Amino acid sequence: MTKIAFVTKIDRRQFIGGSLLAAGGLVLMGPSSTKAAEGSIEILIDEPIGTILPEIYGHFVEHLGAVVYDGVWVGEASKIANIGGIRKSLIDALKKIKAPVIRYPGGCFADSYDWRNGIGDRAKRPHRTNFWAGAASEKVPPLSTSRFEPNTFGTNEFMRFCRLTGAKPYLAANLRGGTAKDFSDWVEYCNSPARSTTLAEQRAAGPTPSAEPFGVEYWGIGNESWGCGGNLTADEYSQEFRRFTAAVPGYKVPLKFVGAGASSDDLDWTRGFFAKTSEKGEGIFERIYGWGVHHYSWNVSAGRTSDWNAGKGDALNFNAEEYYELLREAQKVEKAVGDHWAVMGEFDKKHRVKILVDEWGAWHRPGTEVRPEHILGQQSTMRDALVASITLDIFNRNADKVVMGNVAQLVNCLHSLFLADGDRFLETPTYHVFDMFMPHMGAQSVRTEFSVADFSYHRNGTTANFAGLTGSASINNNMITLTVTNPHLTEPRESTIKLRGASVASAAARVLSNDEVHAHNTFDNPRAVEPRDKKVAVSGGAIVFTFAPASITQIQIRRG
Ligand code: AHR
């Protein structure tokens, strides 16, 4: 039963501009608007789903706006602390969250990139028009690196970044503008043994030399080949994919090729590719590691157009409906993963090809970027942190299907973990989600039942339901990690947490929440949003925990 209550209990500070309040003064609330709702979470420790590959917690760096310059690369001569030109604070923060993999150099940029432009003497590297130059507003200085790519940061610099952070590289090849030979040359440049080839010698020269091969395993074959990556049909892409990946030597590295998959729910692209590719016999799927689905949480509620960028809602100024709608967008990735998986299985019956969600995140309209040069840059609030926790929990729950996730993008862009501007640097609330979810990396995902009542909210003149609590659980030896998102803007949720077939010996919690769902970290107040430890009461082998409104909780449970 849904009750209607007046909003006087809602903290008005939560709504910048008061849009919800102005819109009628009503909210729909769940079964109880006066006391914390009751629910239960049961972790089925004997029902494994699959190992949560650490790569699910991966990242993405594109030559776009200020992601590379000055997010990652500040230059060796910079006064900003750096290691070989790479921002030290970023390296340290990525090491802390054990960044497993970084996708590079795009995105759409990848299909315009000639990797040869980014090697050798930096002073001699060509300056080229950046793919994203057309997206720069008139406020972007005419010769900005956001418009014109100086190629200062190239393959060797990226590999150094990976080595310094401990992340594996995941390179995206240029399928639209490059050739299959350019691609296999890049593999040779990266992976051929020291002194074995001219390209290996070139790798060992230059300002960031590496005689040792880079050993790159993950290779994306183009990016969004249905759009910016070539406007191909699925049939055409299948043909190009096969041509690019045929007989490429790996130099003892097991090459993992990733197909440029669909956007969100575009099952036709997936079906088209798998159907066409299967004409070569089902064995061809042995040679394909993954299918790179992209899923953005578009901020397009409240009747906005789905204009790819400017028509969206704001990152900081949103009302309750816009808050819930963005979280709903995040939830859609679960259906997308399931639907693509089913279509892939029609052709690849043994499911050799897995899913990489190699671009995901919230996408707001421009206006909150640190500087105009930060094309697609946006601020990141508690709402974005909830988008991240909902998404990562979905990946955990689908650990049998999803082998990698790459949040778009690492710094100064969409849904970033970091914002940087010269010597100013901060961690967004989303960074803390990655930190809190770390114990899931490499653990066994187990089925978890959430029995918590749905609640309702106003949606476009009507009402819509939302799950009371969502989350995932995993086991690593004797340690169980449960992560839970309470999406309700104003109501806490009290829940009993049990292990099926075992008892809880002890537990500890960390919570990311804030009285203001619009709260975010700024250069002046970089720690406005950060997790806090919370005591957990264990009684009779179970836990009773109250999940704060609009919060993300990590509970580490030791079983008895
Ligand atoms: O992440 C920004 C862009 O979004 C990427 O370059 C592209 O692949 C996607 O459309």
**Gap between the Cα atoms of 546 and 384, Å rounded:** 22
The pLDDT value recorded for residue 267 is 98
pLDDT of residue 344: 98
* Pairing of the two strands 168-173 and 218-221: parallel
For residue 127, give both structure tokens.
Answer: 């300056």
As a dihedral over the C-alpha atoms of residue 34, residue 36, residue 37, residue 41, rounded to 10 degrees, the angle is 180
Chain segment 302-326, per-residue pLDDT in tens: 667 667 777 889 999 999 999 999 9
> Could you please report the per-residue DSSP string of 328-340?
HHHHHHHHHHHHH
Both ends of the chain: CA-CA distance in Å?
Answer: 38
| Cβ count near 144 (within 10 Å) | 19
Q: HEC string of 124-179?
A: HCCCEECHHHHHCCCCCCCCCCCCEECCCCCHHHHHHHHHHHCCEEEEEECCCCCC
Distance (Å, whole) CA 20 – CA 36: 23
Reported as a single tens digit per residue, the pLDDT across 281-301 is 999 999 999 999 999 999 887
Confidence of residue 372 (pLDDT cuts 50, 70, 90): very high
Q: Would you state the pLDDT for residue 466?
A: 94
Structure tokens at 117: 């432009």
- DSSP reduced 3-state for 236: helix
Pocket flag, ligand 1, residue 55 (CB < 6 Å)? no
- Using most ligand atoms within 8 A of CB, pick from 62, 293, 306 the residue to mutate for ligand 1: 62
Residue 41 near ligand 1, beta carbon < 6 Å: no
Probe residue for ligand 1, chosen from 102, 109, 221, 224 as the CB with the greatest number of ligand atoms within 8 Å: 224
Tell which atom from ligand 1 comes closest to the C-alpha of 409.
1
Ligand 1: which residue has its CA nearest to atom 9?
A: 107
Q: Is 111 in the pocket of ligand 1 (CB under 6 A)?
A: no
Averaged pLDDT, 346-352: 98
CA nearest ligand 1 atom 4, residue: 107
Residue 108 has pLDDT above 70, yes or no: yes
Task: Give per-residue pLDDT as tens, 430-441.
Answer: 999 999 999 999
CA dist., res. 268 & res. 354, Å (int): 18
Determine the atom of ligand 1 nearest the C-alpha atom of 359.
1
pLDDT digits (tens, 9 = 90+) for 397-429: 999 999 999 999 999 999 999 999 999 999 999
HSE-up of residue 279 (Cα within 13 Å, Cβ side): 10
188: left (phi over 0), alpha (psi -120 to 50) or beta: alpha
What is the distance in A from the centroid of ligand 1 to the CA of 230? 14
Q: Measured from the CA of 224, which atom of ligand 1 is nearest? A: 8
How far does residue 2's CA lie from ligand 1's centre (Å)? 40
Q: For residue 460, is pLDDT > 90?
A: no
Average pLDDT of 88-92? Answer: 98
Ligand 1 centre to CA of 26 (Å) is 38
Say if ligand 1 is within 6 A of residue 107 CB.
yes
Q: How far is the CA of 70 from the centre of ligand 1 (A)?
A: 19
Q: What is the mean pLDDT of residues 165-172?
A: 98
pLDDT confidence of residue 146: 97
Q: Indicate which atom in ligand 1 lies nearest the CA of residue 223.
A: 8
Reply yes or no on whether the pLDDT at 7 is more than 70: no
Contact of 469 with 485, CB cutoff 8 Å = yes
Q: Which atom of ligand 1 is nearest to the CA of 376?
A: 2
The Å distance, Cα 107 to ligand 1 centre, comes to 5
The CATH homologous superfamily to which domain 4-49+445-559 belongs is Golgi alpha-mannosidase II (2.60.40.1180)
What pLDDT score does 311 carry? 80
**Separation of alpha carbons 406 and 546, rounded Å:** 31
E strand or H helix that includes residue 322: helix 320-347
More confident residue, 470 or 10: 470
pTM for the full model? 0.94
Which has more pLDDT, 1 or 415?
A: 415
pLDDT tops 70 at residue 36: no
Q: Dihedral through CA 298, CA 300, CA 301, CA 305, nearest 10?
A: -160
Q: Which among 384, 478, 487, 409 has a CA at the least distance from the CA of 439?
A: 478
Mean pLDDT for all residues in the chain: 92
β strands within 264-329, DSSP E: 290-298
Distance CA 352, CA 285 (A): 6
pLDDT higher than threshold 60 for residue 112 = yes
Residue nearest to atom 6 of ligand 1 (CA): 107
3-state secondary structure of 64: coil
Report strand pairing: 444-452 vs 470-476. antiparallel
Contact call for residues 203 and 118 (beta carbons, < 8 A)? no
User: Residue 106: CB within 6 Å of ligand 1?
Assistant: yes
Which atom of ligand 1 is the closest one to the Cα of 109?
Answer: 6
Q: Which residues of 205-239 are buried (b: 16+ CB within 10 A; e: fewer)?
A: ebbbebeebbebbbbbbbbbbbebbbebbbebbbe
- DSSP string covering 442-506: TSEEEEEEEEE--EEEEETTEEEEE-S-EEEEEEETTEEEEEEEE--SS--EEEEEEETTB-EEE
- Strands 455-459, 479-486: pairing is unpaired
Q: Which residue, chain included where needed, has tokens 């209607």?
A: 4
Does ligand 1 have an atom closer than 6 angstroms to the CB of 429? no
| Residue 25 reports pLDDT greater than 70 | no
Question: How high is the pLDDT of residue 17?
Answer: 32
Contact 34, 58 (CB under 8 A): no
Q: Whose CA is nearest to atom 3 of ligand 1?
A: 107
Q: Which residues are catalytic?
A: 224, 359
- Secondary structure percentages of the chain, helix, strand, coil, to 5: 30, 30, 40
Provide the pLDDT for residue 304: 73
Pocket test for ligand 1, best of 294, 357, 407, 415 (most atoms within 8 A of CB): 294
CA of 199 to the centre of ligand 1 (A): 30
Ligand 1 contact, 224 CB (< 6 A): yes
What residue ranges do the domains of the chain occupy?
Answer: 4-49+445-559, 53-441
HSE (side-chain half, CA atoms, 13 Å) at 505: 6
Q: How confident is the model at residue 178 (pLDDT cuts 50, 70, 90)?
A: very high
Look at residue 493 and tell me whether its pLDDT is greater than 60.
yes
Measured in Å, residue 226 CA sits from the centre of ligand 1 at: 12
Model confidence pLDDT, tens digit, residues 231-243:
999 999 999 999 9
- Residue 470 pLDDT > 70, yes or no? yes
Nearest of 318, 406, 325, 319 to residue 367 by alpha carbon: 318
Is the per-residue pLDDT at 269 higher than 60?
yes
Find the mean pLDDT for residues 322-342: 97
Q: How high is the pLDDT of residue 306? A: 64
pLDDT category at 38 given cuts 50, 70, 90 is: confident
Strand partners, 406: 58
Question: 46-56: per-residue pLDDT in tens?
Answer: 999 999 999 99
Please tell me if the CB atom of residue 62 comes closer than 6 angstroms to any atom of ligand 1.
yes
Q: Are 291 and 353 in contact (CB under 8 A)?
A: yes
Q: Is 264 in the pocket of ligand 1 (CB under 6 A)?
A: no
Ligand 1 pocket: which of 61, 112, 149, 228 to mutate (most atoms within 8 A of CB): 228
Please give the angle made by the CA atoms of 345, 259 and 237, to the nearest 5 degrees. Answer: 100
Q: Is the CB of 220 under 6 A from ligand 1?
A: no
pLDDT (tens digit, 9 = 90+) per residue, 498-524?
999 899 999 999 999 999 999 999 999
108 lines ligand 1 (CB under 6 A): yes
Give residue 309's pLDDT.
79
Distance between CA 155 and CA 137 in Å, rounded?
28
Q: Ligand 1: does its nearest atom lie under 6 Å from the Cβ of 358?
A: no
**How far apart are the CA of 108 and the centre of ligand 1, in A?**
6
Fold type of domain 53-441: TIM Barrel (3.20.20)
CA-CA distance, 419 to 442, in Å (whole number)?
28
What is the whole-number distance in angstroms between the Cα of residue 236 and the centre of ligand 1? 21
Given pLDDT bands bounded at 50, 70 and 90, which one contains residue 9?
very low
d(CA 353, CA 257): 10
Is the Cα dihedral 388, 161, 398, 309 positive or negative? positive
